Amino acid sequence: MSIEEQVAGLYEVLHRRRDTRREFTGAPIPPDALHRVLTAAHAAPSVGLSQPWDFILVRDGTTRRAFRDHVHAERSMFNAQLDPERAEVFSRIKVEGILESSLGVVVTYDPDRGSPAVLGRHAIADAGLYSVCLAIQNLWLAATAEGLGVGWVSFYREDVLRRLLHIPAGLRPVAWLCVGPVAGLPDQPDLERAGWRNRIPVEDVVHHERYRERSSR
């Protein structure tokens, strides 16, 4: 494969990637593909090479139903904060595909990995948390390339998820990712399609030499 093809292929995957809720088929994930996806996540950069992530693969239906019920309760909590017009838009938005997807992947952050002196973290405590997110994006892109959808669920309380999966108190759950084969990926983000919020032009987020103020959106 030429360099040009490799570059084109990466951009194709990167722009095709979507946050998936509706399109899961529930079909099993080929074990080889899952292994490649997890290996991709684990190949992410990390502060001080701490590799502070863990991936808990959740297939059990009872666990998933318990989590889904909690997410639905949190969805109602958020809904109660909205004015009627936003609530109407929100009512059309699906926020999770926990049971429809084939697998839950819970990603956690372990601040003790590589401690006491994590190189590059003494001034910025959150740098370890940032590393975990880089791994998540690797996972997301690899899954997209493999024909799998990924949906990040964030309507939950960290303590509830910690208790549900026996995650030690010192660790922090960062994401519940719904993962699995999909019928397809939509061209537009769900939230844009539903009229919740639009994508903004890239020019609006690029600055030169220093931050320039502009009207917030």
- Would you call 18 helix, strand, or coil by DSSP? coil
Q: Which stretch binds a copy of itself (CB under 8 A): 23-31, 131-139, 178-186?
A: 131-139
- Would you call 57 helix, strand, or coil by DSSP? strand
Count the residues of the shown chain that bind a copy of itself, applying the rule CB under 8 A.
Answer: 106
For the chain, the distance separating the N- and C-terminal CA atoms, rounded to the nearest angstrom, is 42
Q: Applying CB under 8 A, which of residues 25, 66, 68, 133 lies at the interface with a copy of itself?
A: 133
Kindly state whether residue 3 participates in binding a copy of itself, applying the rule CB under 8 A.
Answer: yes
Minimum CB–partner distance for residue 28 and a copy of itself (Å): 15
Minimum CB–partner distance for residue 13 and a copy of itself (Å): 5
Kindly state whether residue 82 participates in binding a copy of itself, applying the rule CB under 8 A.
Answer: yes
Q: Applying CB under 8 A, which of residues 61, 84, 200, 215 lies at the interface with a copy of itself?
A: 200
Distances in whole angstroms, Cα of residue 139 to Cα of each of 51, 116, 165, 182, 186: 14, 28, 21, 16, 19
Q: Applying CB under 8 A, which of residues 66, 99, 152, 185 lies at the interface with a copy of itself?
A: 152
CA angle 146, 148, 149 (to 5 degrees): 140
| Cβ-proximal residues to 35 (8 Å cutoff; 6+ apart), any chain | none
Minimum CB–partner distance for residue 173 and a copy of itself (Å): 9
Minimum CB–partner distance for residue 100 and a copy of itself (Å): 18
Kindly state whether residue 14 participates in binding a copy of itself, applying the rule CB under 8 A.
Answer: yes
Q: Which of residues 163-182 bind a copy of itself (CB under 8 A)?
A: 165-168, 171, 174-175
Contact 160, 72 (CB under 8 A): no
Q: Pick the closest to residue 29 from 52, 55, 7, 59 (CA basis).
A: 59
